[in-house]
């Protein structure tokens, strides 16, 4: 991620919980744009794999294997980006990554494959469903980001709504009235009807930032 930059020019500052590019902090807006780019790339890749199945260029087992690999790779990239890079990953972050992937595989992908095998979906429906899987990588980013901030010593969080987006009933409940303990923050896209389409915003802080 942070495409278009030289790897040597970008580093992660765990004390600040932010990326730096050429010594300057990368804005939150830029980070979220990179997440959106990863989502878009994954949507395209997953739909391309499903198009091969629709065109009968691959059989169902091959489709499922390719789809699962592409999904796994995208979730890993998202988790690494949230944690600050591979060297910053830690057991709890890997745990959340693994849990999210298991949910996608067992609760969603198996049912998707079953529906395709039974002919319960049109080609358009199958492509739309594939796109939704691409959006799921956003959930992993926010989930791993939250536990990473905890590891870095951040103790407070604040969740708000994107005024330009529509929100599900759960998201309306998760909005915080100012700063709350980080353990009270529900990461965007998790435990809500929006899932990977969630546009809620979260920022984190340490208590010492207010002293």
142 and 164 within one domain:
no
116 plus 92 within the same structural domain: yes
208 and 108 fall within a common domain:
no
Residues 6+ apart with CB under 8 A from 48: none
Separation of CA 206 from chain center: 24
**Strands (DSSP E) along 62-175, which ranges?**
156-160
d(Cα 138, Cα 143) in Å, to the nearest integer? 9
Residues 93 and 108 in one domain: yes
Considering the domain architecture, whether residues 65 and 162 belong to the same structural domain is answered as no
Are residues 148 and 158 part of one domain? no
Contacts for 123 with CB less than 8 Å, ≥ 6 apart: 54
pTM, full prediction: 0.90
Q: Is 8 a residue whose pLDDT tops 80?
A: no
Any domain includes 1: no
Range of the domain at 208: 154-211
Instruction: Examine the domain organization and report whether 138 and 162 are in the same domain.
Output: no
pLDDT surpasses 90 at 2 = no
Domains in the chain, number: 2
Contact 45, 70 (CB under 8 A): yes
pLDDT at 4: 41
Beta-carbon neighbour count of residue 173 at 10 Å? 10
pLDDT at residue 59, rounded to an integer: 95
Q: With bands split at pLDDT 50, 70 and 90, how would you rate the model's confidence at 68?
A: very high
Half-sphere exposure of 115 (CA within 13 A, CB side): 15
> Confidence band (pLDDT; 50, 70, 90) for 197?
confident
* Final residue belonging to a domain, choices 152, 178, 193: 152
Instruction: List, for residues 136-181, the tens digit of each pLDDT value.
Output: 999 999 999 999 999 999 999 999 988 888 889 888 998 988 899 9
**In this model, does residue 34 exceed pLDDT 90?**
yes
Last residue of a domain, one of 152, 175, 202: 152
Could you give phi then psi for residue 176, rounded to 5 degrees? -100, 150
> pLDDT tens, 176-187?
888 999 999 988
Cα separation, 177 vs 17, whole angstroms: 23
Q: Both 135 and 99 in a single domain?
A: yes
Is 2 contained in some domain? no
- Angle (nearest 5°) at CA 150 between 149 and 152: 65
Are residues 184 and 165 part of one domain?
yes
Query: Can you give the pLDDT at residue 190?
Result: 81
For residue 176 the two structure tokens come to: 């915080």
Are 117 and 206 members of one domain? no
For the cut 70, the answer to whether the pLDDT of residue 198 exceeds it is: yes
147 lies in some domain:
yes
Per the document, the length of the chain is: 211
Asked if residue 168 and residue 109 are part of one domain, the reply reads: no
Q: Is the pLDDT of residue 11 over 50?
A: yes
């Amino acid at each position: 991620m942070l495409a278009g930059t030289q790897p040597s020019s970008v580093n992660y500052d765990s004390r600040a919980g932010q990326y730096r590019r050429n010594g300057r902090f990368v804005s939150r807006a830029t980070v979220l744009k990179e997440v959106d780019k990863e989502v878009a790339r994954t949507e395209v890749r997953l739909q391309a794999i499903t198009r091969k199945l629709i065109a009968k260029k691959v059989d169902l087992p091959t489709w499922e294997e390719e789809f699962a690999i592409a999904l796994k790779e995208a979730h890993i990239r998202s988790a690494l980006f949230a944690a600050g890079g591979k060297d910053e990953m830690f057991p709890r972050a890997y745990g959340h990554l693994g849990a999210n992937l298991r949910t996608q595989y067992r609760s969603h992908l198996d049912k998707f494959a079953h529906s395709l095998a039974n002919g319960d979906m049109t080609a358009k429906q199958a492509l739309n469903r594939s796109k939704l899987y691409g959006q799921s990588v956003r959930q992993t980013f926010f989930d791993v980001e939250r536990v990473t901030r905890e590891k870095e010593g951040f103790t407070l969080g604040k969740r708000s709504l994107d005024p330009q987006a529509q929100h599900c009933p759960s998201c309306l409940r998760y909005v915080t009235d100012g700063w709350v303990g980080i353990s009270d923050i529900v990461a965007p896209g998790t435990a809500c009807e929006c899932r990977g389409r969630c546009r809620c915003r979260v920022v984190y802080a340490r208590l010492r930032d207010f002293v």
